[in-house]
Amino acid sequence: MTEVIPIPQATARSTLWGDARRRFRRHRLAVAALVFLALMAVACVVGVAGVMLRAYGSFGWPYGYEEQNLNLGPIMFSGSHWLGTDLLGRDLLTRLLVGGFVSLTVGFLATGMVILIGVAYGMIAGYAGGRLDRVMMRFVDILYALPFTIFIIMLVVLLDKPVQRLTQSMGHGSWAPYCKLCLLFLAIGAFEWLNMARVVRARTLELKTLAFIEAARALGRSPWQILWHHLLPNLAGLIVIYATLSVPAVILLESFISFLGLGVQPPLTSWGDLINQGASNMELYPWLLIYPSGFFALTLLALNFLGDGLRDALDPRASRD
Amino acid sequence: MPPLLRRALVRLLEIIPVLWVVITLTFVMARWVPGGPFDTERQLTPEAKAHNMEYYGLDQPLYVQYMKYLWNFAHGDLGSLYRHPDWTVNELLAKKASVSAELGMWASLVALVVGLLAGVIAAARPRSKTDYTTMTLAMVAICLPSFVLGPLLLLIFGLHLQWVGVMGWNSASDRVLPSLVLGLYYAAYIARLTRGSMLEVRNQDYIRTAQAKGSPPRRVLFVHALRNALGPVVAYLAPTVAGLVTGSFVVESIFQIPGIGRMFVEAALNQEYELLLGVTVLFSAILLLCNWVGDLLITFLNPKAAID
């Protein structure tokens, strides 16, 4: 007589993303960072929406980001200006939110470009292998060796006048700052994808030798189907990690360029631009430097903690200690 | 010829085509933009402008100018300045680059010493209070890039405490803040890298052997573990030094240091083509040479890596 051994029932299905979520929640700092970032993003969006409402309907936010009040001048704090005003009496909180919106938007849009180019390039090179892989990676190596900060600065400086002329000839001279901003994030995105491509290619090379890809090929799936349905889901964790790391890198680069006075143009502003203005007036009005620096550094800190937490959650092998 | 030496030479020769790509890209980008060095606010008469254009060869077809530039470049002549006729690009670069090089050197020293020390100290007792404190400080330093840290330190030490001068590049005390500002960011990265790879090395057999034969803990940490943990740090050093050179853009403008970084922006704004090309080529050459040296060092530290 054989004893029937009960099959142990799984109490809860454990999936990749479920496990990741559980591991992420244990990471207190990362959760706090996520909450902080969400609040910051919401505040920036509310600020911008309020400013736009005010511009079109004269209600909404109490101040415009470019509204000057020369009678007021720079003040540190008042009941109506919580973070004070700058040299021209513009409300600093409003400018910080609008600047934050610009900085975060550039960060996320450029990262979107990084994901698009980097993932497609890396997957194709890795999956194709052989000569195509070698040629594509050699191209990445060459781009890698170029001093791309310099190229971005050069691009932004050199294209300043043509953009202005072009927008003026189209009869929309006031669009020039926005066009330049788009150009900036295109330029940043065009150089930042290299890392993503390398990482994705390396992981694709690993994955393509595994049985499930071979099985898919044996079943007659086309290369594109394999890339899309079988490889991409397995790369998702890696892509999320590297995308989170590229957001602060891009924000840093944008602020760096705006700090040099080459990025966003007035009346538009960004955190780097605000820090620049604060730095030039810090002897008399230190809060103009301290508040933007604080906003910027805290956001960067939160993004980095979030990246660490996501790496622990999605790729536990990579960071055991 | 031994294979390692051969490999090093090949990698060195590979720098030349990349430099050519840099020159060509920069040339195309700079020339594609309308306007020229003599289109200033203060209008020159058409005759004077034409004379200047002819004098500097700017009236010739672009491909002729391009070939001429390459020819002169191969002979070590980087060209002339359009707005400061009594200087050549070679002279100006030599003068300004020495300032930037000194700043970069001090900053590299800060980055290496502080970064390695902090990383080793943190890795000595993982998950201890020292570890967490050091790594949190490193994270904070990463989130305070030069254009945030620079003005803040200047505000505290220059304006309020008045320990150091506010700007310029004259006395020794002028070197302190810029080097710190430039170096600390990279020190933080090096600290994180060092800690990570030290922790990986820590569990290896030869470390246990060293401990078992009675080497003092400090010796095990700094000699046995550190040497083998250096690989990733060295690999990171090349972009670091390049970052120190380009990072000096901001630091030079904050501290009013007459270096090469500020000149680059001015050259781009004024369409000083040959100066722009000169600075770009110089930066690229530094970056490529750093990569080359880093590559050599990695092979030297870990000969296995050369066989791929």
| Per-residue pLDDT tens over the stretch B51-79 | 777 777 777 888 888 888 889 888 888 88
Q: What is B32-86 written as a DSSP string?
A: HSS--TT--SSPPPHHHHHHHHHHTTTTS-HHHHHHHHHHHHHTT---B-SS-TT
Share of residues in chain B with pLDDT > 90 (%): 5
Contact (CB<8Å) A154/B21: no
Nearest Cβ partner for B250 among A142, A161, A260: A260
Q: In the predicted model, what is the mean pLDDT of residues B285-307?
A: 75
Predicted confidence band of residue A317 (pLDDT cuts 50, 70, 90): low
Rounded Cα gap, residues B85 and B76, in angstroms: 19
Cβ atoms B184, B142 nearer than 8 A: no
Q: Is A275–B150 a contact, with Cβ atoms under 8 angstroms apart?
A: no
Chosen from B25, B32, B147, B264 to mutate, greatest number of chain A CBs within 10 A: B147
Q: Which of B96, B40, B28, B70 is nearest to B264 (CA)?
A: B96
**Comparison of pLDDT for B83 and A208, the residue scoring more:** A208
Q: What is the pLDDT of residues A240-273, one digit of tens each?
A: 888 887 888 888 888 888 887 777 777 788 888 8
Contact B196 A321 (CB under 8 A): yes
What is the residue type of A301? Answer: L
Chain B residues touching residue A255 (CB < 8 angstroms):
145, 147
- For residues A272 and A181, is the Cβ–Cβ distance under 8 A? no
**Minimum distance, in Å, between the CA of residue A212 and any CA atom of chain B:** 27
Chain B residues touching residue A252 (CB < 8 angstroms): 145
**CA-CA distance, B24 to B30, in Å (whole number)?**
10
Residues B92, B48 contacting (CB under 8 angstroms): no
A147–B287 C-beta distance less than 8 A: yes
Which DSSP category does B24 fall into?
A: H
Q: Could you tell me which chain B residue has the CA closest to the CA of A257? A: B250
Higher pLDDT, B242 or A116: A116
Name the token pair of B83. Answer: 């707005």
Q: Do A321 and B126 touch (CB under 8 A)?
A: yes
Task: Report CA B37 to chain centroid distance, whole Å.
Answer: 28
Nearest CB to B268; choose among A149, A157, A272: A157
Instruction: Note the pLDDT of residue A319.
Output: 47
- Write down the H helix ranges in chain A: 16-26, 28-57, 92-128, 130-145, 148-158, 160-169, 176-208, 211-218, 223-225, 232-259, 271-280, 287-314
Q: Is B147 close to A305, i.e. CB distance below 8 A?
A: no
Does A320 score more than 50 pLDDT?
A: no
- pLDDT tens-digit map of A91-102: 888 889 988 998
pTM: 0.79
ipTM of the complex: 0.73
**Å from A180 to nearest chain B CA?**
15
Overall average pLDDT of the B127-153 stretch: 87
Q: Which residue has the higher pLDDT, B46 or A300?
A: A300
CB A283 to CB B26 under 8 A?
Answer: no
For chain A, the residue count is 321
pLDDT interval class at A32 (50, 70, 90): very high
Phi (first) and psi of residue A128, to 5 degrees: -70, -45
What confidence score (pLDDT) does residue A37 get?
A: 93
What residues of chain B lie within 8 A of the CB of A278, using their CB?
151
Taking CB atoms and an 8 Å cutoff, what residues of chain B touch A157?
265, 268-269
Q: Which residues of A touch B142 (CB under 8 A)?
A: 300, 304
Q: Name the pLDDT band for A123 (thresholds 50, 70, 90).
A: very high
Q: State the smallest CA–CA distance between residue B17 and chain A in angstroms.
A: 9
Closest Cβ–Cβ partner in A162, A262, A297 for B148: A297
Q: Min CA distance, A299 vs chain B (Å)?
A: 9
